[in-house]
Amino acid sequence: MTKQLMRGSHVLGEAAVRAGCRYYFGYPITPQNEVPEYLSGRLLEVGGTFVQAESELSSINMVIGAAMAGGRVMTSSSSPGISLKQEGISYLAGQEMPAVIANMIRGGPGLGNIAPAQSDYFQATRGGGHGDYRCLVLAPASCQELCDLTFSAFDLADKYRNPVMILGDGLMGQMMEPVEFPEPVDPAALPKKDWILDGAKGRPSRIILSMLLDPKRLEAHNYKLTRKYDAMTAAEQRWEEYQCDDALLVVVAYGTAARIVKGAIKRVREMGLKVGLFRPISLYPFPKEPLSRLTQRVRQVLVFEMSSGQMVEDVQIAVKSQAEVHFYGRPGGVIPTPEEVAHQISHYYHNAHLAQGEAADGRRAGGAA
Amino acid sequence: MKQVFHKPKSLKPAIYHYCPGCGHSIIHRLVAEVIDELGIQEKTVGVPPAGCAVLAYNYFDVDMGEAPHGRAVAVATGIKRVLPDRVVFTYQGDGDIAAIGTGGAVHAANRGEKITVLFINNGVYGMTGGQMAPTTVAGMNSTTTPGGRDVARDGYPLDLTQMLAVAGGSVYLERVAVNSPKNIKKAKKAIKKAFQAQLDGLGFSLVEILSTCPTNWKMSPIKAMEYIDQSMSKVFPLGVIKDKTGYDEKQGEES
């Protein structure tokens, strides 16, 4: 298999088609317009369906219908558009309908801007809409990972009968990297679903709903969903540990922020600082256990996010009191440089007196701004 | 002995929860009869709304999928796009389709989605307790229009079906009522034609059905039936609003 140089938005679309996705319903919003643009042509080639709906509301509800009918289906949008889709995502979760939703996050709140941001972490990992539910949330940090996670997102959606969200941003969508795509899946060869609405031929009629008026029945349904999220938590935690073996301080960051951190670690390692990266790939379930294990040994943690601090709460829950958790964030769509993050790492590293014997040579001078 | 009347196959043996004199029960029966007569029970998927008919899946013996309030047309679009050879219908009240779901209805009609919409217009939000609907006629009482709907204050009743007539993809739009045996017969004919238009892949079809809500209108069932003739059908005249099916011409040629 040869590698192809492709931009992230197109990688997302191509990986979806190769995963057997044949239905896309969307609505334009920057910075993700290249996703529907790519799929409008690509789905035509494979006999799929592309509908540009009149709103995010309609597009997510078309996703619900397509999922009910058994299709592998996806939609994509960016922050304000994802807010509009939240009602539908809540229904998908309540009705246990599989679907893939990509959010190329932009700066918020409100209309904000179109620059890369990570300010939708809470919305993505806490459900986002009304009710007691979770989406499985995946955050790639390279085009290859975007491909691999998108490809497996459809299987995960089917496995758990649950919406799966891919979190990226405009940087992820625009950057070009070489990607090796998996062999395409034939949608006709996928396992048959025994719950879909396709006409009650030779079987009793079926109902798909989330409305359970009897509180006891709804409670039982909610417990069933909880058990599903527990199963997801046990089986689907994904993360990367980068240069953590000898680390005295680990930075926790995901997606675009984690790429910046890798550049920063290269710089501080050159200065002799023993710093590693813990990169959550699944944001829900958050890789709590591996981070907990790591911080039994590494007592200094710096959380870096392109927001004013959201994932840091999950880090604190995972770490408890076994390590000191610091935070550095740049909200509003600002992309910090690796130098800036290196400066922060150095500050916390030296403040914790991790660089014994180095203080005298003046390296400690670089405190946080 | 010849059986001349029976429960349609496409209705489950369940007892309706609807109020006495409510039009939903009649309309459910008509839809089920049409599904039986067209022989499409095993290939039909229905989408009920939020509203009194939210429990329609307890009555129709076909596959049914729930939609959020106002989104039945979008959900139906998703189902139909995946399964183009199935028959997909939505069952929506006036609040559902003519207020919160107006955008979806206009654009589904405009795209010519090959689905059938049953639009039940009783001029009121029934399930939530009788608030003003987009279709509440001027002067009509509701719990949110003290002294009756005042068009200067509350706006005018909206004729959604007429709006859909200008959409390029709508092929059959008719307004009927279920307040007399004669009108019920006409209503059934219209529903059947709308389903037929979908079966023939012609485009978007919708039947608006003027229906009664004696509970929220605070009228007896008989008075409510009369109210449709005296008041509602003056604002929403019965009849074909758009017909591009060509069925009547064909019938004319054959006879």
Q: Does residue A363 register a pLDDT over 60?
A: no
**Chain mean pLDDT for chain A:** 95
| Enclosing H/E stretch for B252 | helix B247-254
Does any CB of chain A come closer than 8 Å to the CB of residue B9?
no
Do residue B78 and residue A63 have CB atoms under 8 angstroms apart?
yes
Q: Does residue A159 register a pLDDT over 70?
A: yes
pLDDT at B250: 76
DSSP strand pairing (B124-125 vs B131-132):
antiparallel
Query: How far, rounded to the nearest angstrom, does the alpha carbon of residue A209 sit from its chain's CA centroid?
Result: 27
Task: Report residue A362's pLDDT band, with 50, 70 and 90 as the boundaries.
Answer: very low
Do residue B78 and residue A88 have CB atoms under 8 angstroms apart?
no
Does any CB of chain A come closer than 8 Å to the CB of residue B60?
yes
Q: Does residue A33 register a pLDDT over 90?
A: yes
pTM above the 0.90 mark? yes
Rounded to two decimals, the ipTM of the complex is 0.96
pLDDT at B254: 55
Q: In this complex, which of B68, B82, B86 lies closest to A61 when CB atoms are compared?
A: B68
HSE-up (13 A, CA, CB side) for residue A155:
12
Mean pLDDT computed over A10-31: 98
pLDDT in tens, chain B (255 residues): 888 889 999 999 999 999 999 999 999 999 999 999 999 999 999 999 888 999 999 999 999 999 999 999 999 999 999 999 999 999 999 999 999 999 999 999 999 999 999 999 999 999 999 999 999 999 999 999 999 999 999 999 999 999 999 999 999 999 999 999 999 999 999 999 999 999 999 999 999 999 999 999 999 999 999 999 999 999 999 999 999 999 988 776 654
Q: Residues for chain B: how many in total?
A: 255
Contacts of B71 in chain A (CB under 8 A): 57-58, 61, 64, 88
pLDDT at B1: 82
Contacts of A87 in chain B (CB under 8 A): 68
CA pseudo-torsion sign B178, B182, B183, B186: positive
Q: Report domain extents, chain A.
A: 4-190+208-235, 240-365
- Give domain status of residue B9, yes or no: no
Selected for mutation to probe chain A from B40, B58, B83 (highest A CB count within 10 Å) is B83
Instruction: Spell out the CATH class of A240-365.
Output: alpha beta
CATH 3.40.50.970 matches A4-190+208-235: yes
Mean pLDDT computed over A39-60: 98
Residue B51's closest CA among B63, B29, B64, B68? B68
Contacts of B67 in chain A (CB under 8 A): 61, 64-65
Does any CB of chain A come closer than 8 Å to the CB of residue B36?
no
- Give domain status of residue B8, yes or no: no
> Other CB atoms closer than 10 Å to residue A103's CB: what's the count?
26
- Give domain status of residue B5, yes or no: no
Contacts of A84 in chain B (CB under 8 A): none
pLDDT at A367: 43
Q: Does residue A172 register a pLDDT over 60?
A: yes
- Give domain status of residue B144, yes or no: yes
Q: What is the pLDDT of residues A66-106, one digit of tens each?
A: 999 999 999 999 999 999 999 999 999 999 999 999 999 99
Domain hosting residue B46, numbered range: 23-254
Mean pLDDT computed over A133-152: 98
- Give domain status of residue B12, yes or no: no
Q: What is the CATH number of the domain that holds B124?
A: 3.40.50.970
- The number of distinct structural domains making up chain B is 1
> A290: which residues sit within 8 A by CB, 6+ positions away?
A237, A239, A241, A278
Selected for mutation to probe chain A from B60, B71, B73, B204 (highest A CB count within 10 Å) is B71
CA dist., res. B66 & res. A91, Å (int) = 9
pLDDT at A1: 67
Contacts of A206 in chain B (CB under 8 A): 63-64
HSE-up (13 A, CA, CB side) for residue A347:
14
pLDDT at A365: 42
Contacts of A198 in chain B (CB under 8 A): 45, 63, 83, 86
> B49: which residues sit within 8 A by CB, 6+ positions away?
B67, B69, B70, B72, B90, B91, B92, B93, B96, B97
Task: Report residue A193's pLDDT band, with 50, 70 and 90 as the boundaries.
Answer: very high
The shortest C-alpha distance from B30 to chain A (Å) reads: 19
